[in-house]
Amino acid sequence: MFVKKTIIFRSTIWLAFLTCSLSSQSDFSFKNISVKDGLAESTVKVIYEDHEGFIYFGTENGLDIYNGYEFKNYIMNSFNDASILGNKISCIYEDSNNMIWVGTELGVSRFDPVNRTFSRPVKLDEKSQAVLTDPETMVEDGKGNIWIKLLDSGLIFRHNLKEQTTDCFNCNTGSALEGEKVNVLYEDQNKIVWLGTDSGLFYFNIESGTITEFDLPDGSNTTLITDIEQGGASDLWVGTTVGLFRIKNGINGTIDVFKKEKDPFSIVSNFVKDLDWNGEKNELWIATNDGLSRYVPAENKFYNIQTTPFADSIIE
């Protein structure tokens, strides 16, 4: 029996359960979970924690939900439209109503964790030639619409919950993002949806219902956007191939530009690949093509980590 219990997992991404030995900081032991323990399939592609602390594992053979004690497995039943659509899970997202959205090789399902039922609300117009499969990212805007980014093509869809319609923003000629490949789909703390493309930054204007280009300074309007990350306060960080940008106080706020300089406390490289905000320490980690940078806003300094000519060593 699958009993719902609130199990809290905080500040941890669980691929296995990691226990640190108190006797030594270098001693770690892993408790591994396998098919023998109830996992549906050994290839786990996605891990997600909902607001209750339940862990969702997206596998190559269905969705597993772990309550801290046991697994509940869900797989597609080809003869039942009330089952999950597809088995190869590519992304999982919880919306503001605590519904769980699941992307697979066949499309998108919505899971109600209270009633433990699935529905398939995302349907394209019959005249549409687009194919909505293998979602990589899903987010929610300020009106409760679900945005979906596909893995390989970078196509962007918006599912309107009230009207039960699904539109593509870069599938066809004349669409809002015609010809644009979206690399990053991101929802900030104010539920503004941002889209980072091969040629600039865009956001969804909730008032006008349109996609709007966001002007980056320093001649960077058409640069490739690599990542977007919410920082402290109202800061939004944008990684590009020509530097790092900080948007303060929303779409009408100020913008700071960070680029590599001779100063040893500048960012290590302008080619940003990944961003991660550490909320506990209020600092930003930046992965680049020339090492790591750690930015401390209180000091306005970057601390850089790079490899040395010597094996198994780094310098900071």
Residue 41 lies in a domain: yes
Residue 175 lies in a domain: no
* One-letter identity of residue 183: N
Q: Residue 287: beta bridge partners? A: 274, 292
Q: What percent of the chain has pLDDT over 70?
A: 88
Among 27, 54, 89, where does a domain finish?
Answer: 89
Among 89, 108, 128, where does a domain finish?
Answer: 89
Q: What is each CA distance from 91 to 59, 153, 265, in whole angstroms?
A: 10, 15, 37
* One-letter identity of residue 13: I
Residue 144 lies in a domain: no
**pLDDT value at position 29?**
83
Q: What percent of the chain has pLDDT over 90?
A: 72
Distance CA 94, CA 96 (A): 7
Distance CA 281, CA 95 (A): 27
**pLDDT value at position 147?**
97
Q: Residue 148: beta bridge partners? A: 138, 157
For tokens 């280009």, the residue is: 213
* CB of 161 closer than 8 Å to CB of 145: yes
* CB of 307 closer than 8 Å to CB of 291: yes
Residue 177 lies in a domain: no
Residue 155 lies in a domain: no
Residue 85 lies in a domain: yes
pTM listed for this prediction:
0.85
**pLDDT value at position 311?**
52
Residue 23 lies in a domain: yes
Vertex 128 angle, CA 127 and 133, to 5°: 140
* CB of 303 closer than 8 Å to CB of 265: yes
* CB of 88 closer than 8 Å to CB of 80: no
The answer to whether residue 316 scores a pLDDT higher than 70 is no
Per the structure, the count of domains in the chain is 2
Quick: pLDDT tens for 174-218: 777 888 899 999 999 999 999 999 999 999 998 888 899 999 998
* One-letter identity of residue 103: G
Quick: pLDDT tens for 72-111: 999 999 999 999 999 999 999 999 999 999 999 999 999 9
Give the residue numbers spanning the domain of 51. 1-89
CATH number of the domain enclosing 253: 2.20.25
Among 61, 89, 117, where does a domain finish?
Answer: 89
Residue 128 lies in a domain: no
